[in-house]
Amino acid sequence: MGDALAVSIGEQKVTAFSTVPGVTFTLNGDSFVGGAPGTDLAASLDSFMAPVDWTAPEQWRFSLKPLYAPTVHGAAIERGANLFHMASPQGWTASFYGQGIELAYQPGKGPFTFTSGVIHEADSLLGSQARGFFGSLSADTFYVGSRWQTDVGQWSFAANGELGLVAPTVAGSSVIDGIDALTTNAFGLEAARTFNNGNVLRFSLKQPLRVAHGSMDYTFANGEADGIVTGASQSASLAPTGRQLDLTTALTVPVSAGDLSLGLTMSTDPGHIAGADAVFSLFGGYQAQW
């Protein structure tokens, strides 16, 4: 959600009451909210070192591994979660973990792959948490996506997109009146060139998951009249002000029994915050199989 709450609620004035009758304080809304983090460095590194393999295997494949990514499709993942993955030669794949499931299908091993999944967050909304008089948040996310990939000579091109629907739940809040269902989106474009010596040069442009539509209704105290606390109801958009775009260049070089990879990413409007300074990330890694 980026800076959506910080911008909307941060501009409001809130009245706080003391234990002394008649003594009140006026606070700024930004004392209670902050910007939600966007795609972090750990998630980017996980994607760089272990990209999703969209190719249908020749025989059944099973794997069980730790899920290091702190989020999956925007939803916060509990630490220590494990991922069980299975793929069939018929183009069907399924991934299971404690909070959700994802299914994918590649018809006839063709250029298109279609995905869908559901994730439950027990204590957050797209990674954002609430405390105190804001109550607690939970959410269920359903998403669908597709990917297209084709090879032209020594070049490989790919494009993918995702749309999501998030159903939030608010409990025990004296401030939040309700949160609409949120819609989210993400997309990516990739190109890779394989050279005769085995080197692979990759370029990509990606937009991390972003809230496109949705709002929150809330009420802040703004005064007192005849011993009764008065409040003003507001509606805050949960769509951030900016749109993060990640431009990446990566080179993979065969070294000994493995591959050495180096990558540089420039992120504009990081965290989906309009006007934020661009962030540059340099990645490096080595993979080998025995």
Mean pLDDT throughout 234-253?
Answer: 92
Domain assignment of residue 151, yes or no: yes
183 assigned to some structural domain: yes
pLDDT of residue 154: 95
In a domain, residue 21? The reply is no
Task: Check which CATH number belongs to the domain holding 146 and give it.
Answer: 2.40.160
For residue range 92-103, what is the model confidence (pLDDT) as tens digits? 999 998 899 999
- The number of distinct structural domains making up the chain is 1
- Retrieve residue 278's tokens: 């661009």
Write down the pLDDT at residue 74: 83
Q: What is the pLDDT of residue 175?
A: 84
What does the pLDDT look like over 208-230, one tens digit per residue?
999 999 999 988 777 666 666 67
Over the stretch 54-99, which tens digit does the pLDDT of each residue have?
Answer: 567 788 989 888 776 677 788 888 877 888 989 998 999 999 988 9
Q: How many whole angstroms separate alpha carbon 121 and alpha carbon 125? A: 7
Asked whether the predicted pLDDT for residue 43 surpasses 70, the reply is: no
Between CA 220 and CA 208 the distance in angstroms is: 32
**Would you say residue 17 lies in a domain?**
no
Contact criterion met (CB below 8 Å) for 191 and 205: no
- The residue ranking higher by pLDDT, 158 or 223, is 158
Largest separation between any pair of C-alpha atoms in the chain: 83
Q: Which amino acid is at 189?
A: L
- Residue 25 falls inside a structural domain: no
- Is 231 among the domain residues? no
pLDDT band at 165 (very low <50, low <70, confident <90, very high): very high
Residues in the chain: 290
Query: What integer pLDDT is reported at residue 52 of this predicted model?
Result: 60
pLDDT at 42: 57
Residue 26 in domain: no
In a domain, 133, yes or no: yes
Range of the domain at 161: 38-210+239-288
**Among 2-11, 112-121, 240-249, 263-272, which is the least confidently predicted range?**
2-11
Range of 32-36, 79-83, 227-231, 263-267 with top mean pLDDT: 263-267
Q: What is the pTM of this model?
A: 0.82
DSSP character string of 46-84: HHHHS----SPPSS-EEEEEE---SEETTEE--TT-EEE
Q: Is 283 exposed, middle or buried (CB count within 10 Å of its CB: 0-12, 13-18, 19+)?
A: middle
